Amino acid sequence: MIKDEDNIVIVGGGFAGVNLAKQLLKARQKLHVTLVDRNNYNFFPPLLYQVATGFLDVSNISYPYRKLFRKNLNFTFRMGELLEIRPEENKVILSNGELAYGKLVIATGTESNYFGNQNVKSNALPMKTIADAVYLKNTLLERFEQAARINDAAEQKKLTTIVIAGGGPTGVEIAGMLSELRQNVLARDYPELKSLPFEIFLVDGVASVLAPMSKKSQEYTLQSLQSMGVIVRLNVLVKDYDGSLVILADGTGIETYNLIWTTGVTASTFSGITVDAYGRGKRLLVDEYNKVKGFDNIYAIGDTCLQTTDAAFSNGHPQLAQVAIQQGRNLAFNFNALLKGNVLRPFHYNDKGSMAIIGRYKAVTDVPKPHLHFRGGFAWLLWLFIHLRSLINFRNKLRTLSSWTAAYFSKDQYLRMIVRPASKKSDKNV
């Protein structure tokens, strides 16, 4: 029988939540870990764009929670969505029931931010989840198929033109991958469309791509994208989108049915958490131990929290995987320290650097200490190694390496199938 006070409930099974659970279970302390997630699998967001472009299969970057933790007797998985927190009862209300907790950890990550633009939200193609990536792949392939069977040149161009909003790592990486797809695959797969340009636009409201990275990385990335035929429009925001025309803030427009939205994220709010506990971007305000402002036993880690106590990051940490991983591990250390009566350890982020891949033999890496910058083939190999190493288990590593090796030698991939779920609706309260 699980005692409520021994039950640590973690809501969200991304980088932060999974690393917290792993470290707690590894310590073999007298506690129980309950992981709650709306999906029954963990997935690796940095490689979503490769699923969306047909270069990796969903199974390459995802793994079921129950299989991941099946050897841990003091672990429970609950598939459901957090609806409400009742701090006075130490209880969470889920879409399919309720759970009591001794400590609650919110690790729900972020979702796409459309900045209040309902037209963009309704018509653009996001890329934050596995479902988004699969839907994006299906949609692009269906539109290419449609273009191949019609004779209207204007419609064909709108069906095959792609606009990517957001010049961060995700936007840059999907632009590069689509450019390689256009160069190596589309003319062979769609000979009916070989006269079309398959234009790819990358649009961002700031003055450079990869804004958080070094100037050297920004300049190399811009030059590489342009050499690959990507049309880069900087210092201009997407103002509106009706499903066929992207309207930019400078008054110009791009006719397309394909707007991929990779710009901006926002955290979620939860009933039961007071308004003053939220900061910028709806992120939960936490202290140096990741405890949520105003609560004794509620914590937040990863992208969903805003921590300003780290001297080197007084405006909050970047919403990156490494921050989430390190916060999860540090919180596990502190929970174990509490059980033993030891001193807690405040969180300090160890910035290991940033990287982005652009295309074959093209990538950039910035290492803050000792201020190193790599680009080109070496950075590309480094990106491949780091991302392969970061996948959650050996099976995923092996399958991804196999897919990358096949794609490298063939400059192609076989995963361009349009597979949609049946029309019968699933039960949301499973």
**54, HSE (Cβ side, Cα atoms, 13 Å):** 20
Query: Alpha-carbon distance 69 to 383, whole Å?
Result: 28
CA distance to 233, 257, 279, 310, per residue, from 254 (Å):
11, 10, 35, 43
Kindly state the tokens that stand for 354: 């940033």
Residue whose token pair is 């932060």: 16
Residue 258: what residue type?
N
Largest CA distance in the chain: 74
- Cβ-based burial of 388 (10 A; exposed 0-12, middle 13-18, buried ≥19): middle
Nearest to 158 by CA among 259, 65, 233: 259
Long-range contacts of 210-213 (CB under 8 A, 24+ apart): 210/167, 210/168, 210/169, 210/172, 210/356, 210/364, 211/167, 211/168, 212/168, 212/318, 212/354, 213/354, 213/356, 213/364, 213/366
Residue among 5, 81, 173, 288 flagged as catalytic? 173
| Residue 173 known to be catalytic | yes
For the chain, the first-to-last Cα distance in angstroms comes to: 24
Query: Alpha-carbon distance 215 to 223, whole Å?
Result: 12
Characterize the bridge pairing of strands 111-112 and 265-266: antiparallel
**366, HSE (Cβ side, Cα atoms, 13 Å):** 16
Which residues are the active-site residues? 173
